Amino acid sequence: MSEFVTHATDASFEHDVLQSSTPVLVDFWGEWCGPCKAIAPMLEQLAADYAGRLKVAKVELDKNQKTAIACGVRSAPTLLLFKGGKVQATQIGMVSRTQLAAMVERAL
């Protein structure tokens, strides 16, 4: 696990994500999800590359269902990019690192 990636929970989501002064890319994932495991190293690299300009947070679906429901997450992986407490971009399913970086660049 990367030092640049936060683990948000139902209890910490508002503080970690919604109140963040920096844009936050949230990865809604599950232990049972193969594509989630495949995308994790890309997210860690993205978090390192954009340190200080972007936060990356992971929310485990099975343990944080309240947050997942509130955000309308129905499948994993779902990536939501929050800026100023609002969703700026959504990506569902496996994507390339290039697609992730483009999503982030548009929001920054």
Task: Judge contact between 42 and 103, C-beta under 8 A.
Answer: no
What pTM does this model have? 0.95
pLDDT, position 3:
86
Give the domain range for residue 56: 5-107
Q: How many domains does the chain have?
A: 1
Q: Give φ, ψ of 43 to 5 degrees.
A: -65, -40
> In sequence order, which residues have a C-beta less than 8 Å from that of residue 93 and are 6 or more positions away?
35, 75, 77
Q: At what angle do helices 34-49 and 97-107 cross, to 10 degrees?
A: 50
Pick the catalytic residue from 5, 36, 76, 81. 36
Query: What confidence score (pLDDT) does residue 28 get?
Result: 98
Query: Among 30, 33, 94, 95, which one carries the catalytic annotation?
Result: 33
Q: Are 42 and 35 in contact (CB under 8 A)?
A: no
- Among candidate residues 54, 56, 66, 55, the one with its CA nearest the CA of residue 9: 66
CATH number at residue 77: 3.40.30.10
Residue 33 known to be catalytic: yes
- The stretches in the chain having pLDDT less than 50 are none
Please, how many CA atoms are within 13 Å of residue 23, restricted to the half-sphere of its CB?
Answer: 21
